[in-house]
Structure 1
Amino acid sequence: MRLILHLANLFLRGTALMLCLISAVAGLTCLGGAFSDRLDALTHAAPLWLACGGAGLALAVAFSRDGERKALAGVASLGVVAVLALMTPELLSALQRPEEPAKDMSRLKLVQFNAWADNHDPDATTAWLLKQKADVVVLEEAGGAAWPVVRALKKAYPYSTACRFKYGCDTRMFSRWPIVAEHGFHQDDRSLAGGWMTLRHPRGDFTVAGTHFVWPIPAGQWQAQSRTLVGKLAAFPRDSLIVTGDFNSTPWSWSLRRQDKALGLERRTRALASWPTGAFTRVASAPFPVLPIDQVYAGKAWKTVKVERGPSLGSDHRPVVAILAR
């Protein structure tokens, strides 16, 4: 029995060492994302590195002794501090309460949602979206099993963006207000999914853009898409512009921080985790989302009334509901 306990203690101490080292190495490497897109790819898993550091520290305190405990605690703390340095600004910004808009301001309700081409409950998805009575709906992965959702929204909304290609219309947008101009990014090239639409509104026309970025791994293509998006939207007035989509990037990454600055808009989604949710693979289900990768940006003419996460539907993403006013 004593041998078993000794082996168990060695195993737990070894596990503590492994977790502490993972947290420290990954956390410090993430800081290098300020200079390298390849290293920046690790920042998206910051919650994992933080969990490794916390678990390693707990095991070290519980099962290690004296100098070993101090050494492991120091290594774990190094990783935890590095990760928190990345995440804390975003987490603190999520605590800020939005300003109360003036009573004479006109409100806009927008739903941003990756409907998922493998959507396993399009009926529930459709019912929820219609119940929102949103003014604007932006969908990504609006094909495959999610096509019934698109058909229903086209019937419910008087205006929607068109698709001029047999393939590649990943992003669809729907509006209660007339679309006076629109353009799909695929009309230029195949490097970026999405498009924009300019809406005729009693308070003045404004443009909504929707997009769906690739994963940030391997590095390079995501950053190229970000530069492309900024270039395609450069001609629009920043005050009233709204940009939304599945950016597949977390707000504590250096790449998304650079995009925030390049767009010249305020990101209204703050630490709002939207992925994964439900049965996001054939073998795994997520009880709650961890990564905030769906974003909503808006110009300074718009005031934030409320931004919240919707329920788990048939997608691997949660919808994002943003209410803005101007």
Structure 2
Amino acid sequence: MEAEISASVADRSDSRVRNSGKLAIAAILILGALIIFAATALGLAAPFYPYLDIINHFRLPILLSTGGLFIVAWFARIRSLTVPVAIIAGINMVLAAAPLAYLPSSAPQASLRIATFNVWVGNKDLEGVLDFIKQSGADIVVLQEVDARLEAQLVPALLTIYPSVTSCARRNCGLVLLSKTPSLKAGYSDRTRHEPPLIWATFSSARGKAFTVTGLHLAYPFQPDWQVSQARFLGERFRNVTGTQILVGDFNLTPFSWKLNRLIAETELRRHATFGATWPSHKFAPLVLLDNLLATPDVKSAAASYGRSGYGSDHRPMIFDVAFD
């Protein structure tokens, strides 16, 4: 009898422990679901409050976190939470998939390689930057955050490979465009609150097709009003432009950003990278894709690849292989 009583007491104790553990898991899941739901809802308000677009940059981490909550709820057998968590996950899946509507056509082989790299104005590993550029095999290279110091140390070391240079590094622009072949015409414009710094050059392809490459560097994510104005300027500039156009550089906007998707919708440009990450690469594993290439629909994508972290910058460089119709 005493043994039976002891066993009964032990069973009740184990049951209380299991219930307490389940309640603790449920509380954590509810808190996590509420945070993710709030973040998702706030991100949807970005068209009205541009600062909230920062949340949308982290769409993929939010989606992965929601998936993790669902898995925990499922295996913990907390069925009352699996449905609402699944709904939140579904909403984020739709939002993550929406940018796929703006993908370019694919090409089996590239006819042009373009590299973009925000080298960071305080970069000390210039040998690493030079090694990347020399080994990239790029026909055209667009660099951001280049000041007079970086220009003086980088450009002369690359002239044998890239004899054609357009630079506004010594102005309120900070961009350099390097090319293996001479441009037909080139220019640049400085940064203002309403216009991002731009650098551009028009080239002729092997088939005689003229195309223009424009390098840019939009305002930082914590300057949302500047970003809105600068994205609007780009929309107006490229909505009515004719000919083959390629925009490449540091957009400071991810593929899930409301501002970037509005720009693409207005101009009918196509985005050549979606899933990946280029920032931050100097302290942590990159989380978001801030660097990209947009182009007119006649520019097809053969590949988009990422350089390694490091090279003295907080951004990873990117290489785009494209082909023309």
- Interval of TM-score (by shorter of Structure 1 and Structure 2): 0.7 to 0.9
**Alignment correspondent of 1:47:** 60
Out of 223-232 and 52-61, give the one that drifted further. Answer: 52-61
Q: In structure 1, what is the Cα distance between the partners aligned to 2:316 and 2:263?
A: 22
Equivalents in 1 of 2:157, 2:24: separation in Å?
Answer: 56
Deviation of 1:226 after TM superposition, in Å, equals 0.9
What does the per-residue CA deviation read over 1:221-242, in whole Å, with 9 as the maximum and x for residues that have no partner? 211111122334456424x111
- Is contact 1:26–1:79 with CA below 8 Å preserved after alignment? no
Counterpart of 1:114 in structure 2: which amino acid?
A: N
Using the alignment, how far apart are the partners of 2:190 and 2:45 within structure 1?
34
Aligned to 1:140: 144
Q: Which residue of 2 aligns with 1:242?
A: 246
**Identity across the alignment (%):** 25
Q: Equivalent residue for 1:15?
A: 28
Match of 1:83 among 92, 96, 101: 92
1:270 to 263, 274, 283: 274
Instruction: Indicate yes or no: 2:309 matched with 1:312.
Output: yes
In the TM superposition, residue 218 of structure 1 has moved relative to its aligned partner by 4.6
Most deviating of 142-151 and 305-314 = 142-151
Please tell me whether the aligned partners of residues 28 and 79 of structure 1 are also in contact (alpha carbons under 8 angstroms).
no
Please give the residue correspondences for 1:94-243 in structure 2 after superposition, counting only pairs within 5 Å.
Answer: 98-100=106-108, 107-143=111-147, 146-147=150-151, 148-154=153-159, 156-163=161-168, 166-186=170-190, 191-201=195-205, 203-233=208-238, 236-238=241-243, 240-243=244-247
CA distance 1:47–1:173, shift in 2 (3 Å): same
Residue 78 of structure 1 aligns to a residue in which SS? Answer: helix
What is the identity, as a one-letter code, of the residue corresponding to 2:36?
S
The whole-number CA distance in structure 2 between the counterparts of 1:60 and 1:235 is: 51
Q: 1:255 aligns with which of 255, 259, 262?
A: 259
The equivalent residue for 2:4 is none
How much does 1:180 deviate? 3.1
Name which of structure 1's ranges 181-190 and 210-219 shifts more when overlaid on structure 2. 181-190
Distance 1:187 1:197 in 2: 18
Match of 2:322 in 1: 324
Partner SS for 1:177? coil
Helix, strand or coil for the counterpart of 1:28? helix
Q: What value does the CA root-mean-square deviation take over the aligned residues?
A: 3.2
1:230-262 Cα deviation digits (max 9, x unpaired): 334456424x11111111111122221111122
Shift in alpha-carbon separation, 1:187–1:128, aligned structure 2, 3 A: closer
Using the TM superposition, give the Cα deviation of residue 197 of structure 1 relative to its aligned residue in structure 2, in angstroms.
1.5
Name the structure 2 match of 1:303: 300
Question: 5+ unaligned residues in a row in structure 2: which ranges?
Answer: 1-12
Call closer, same or farther: CA 1:146–1:5 in 2, change over 3 Å: farther
Aligned residues: 308
Q: TM-score, normalised by structure 1?
A: 0.80
8 A Cα contact 1:246 1:293, kept in partner: yes
The 2-side partners of 1:201 and 1:189 are apart by 34
How far apart, in 2, do the equivalents of 1:70 and 1:7 lie? 17
The aligned residue for residue 6 of structure 2 is none
Which one-letter code corresponds to 2:251 in the other structure?
Answer: F
**Alpha-carbon distance, 1:268 to partner:** 1.8
Cα displacement string for residues 280-315 of structure 1 (whole angstroms, at most 9, x for unaligned residues): 3xxxx21xx332221112223333222222222312
Q: Secondary structure at the match of 1:139?
A: strand
Q: 2:289 aligns with which of 282, 286, 292?
A: 292
The one-letter code sitting in structure 2 at the alignment partner of 1:99 is A
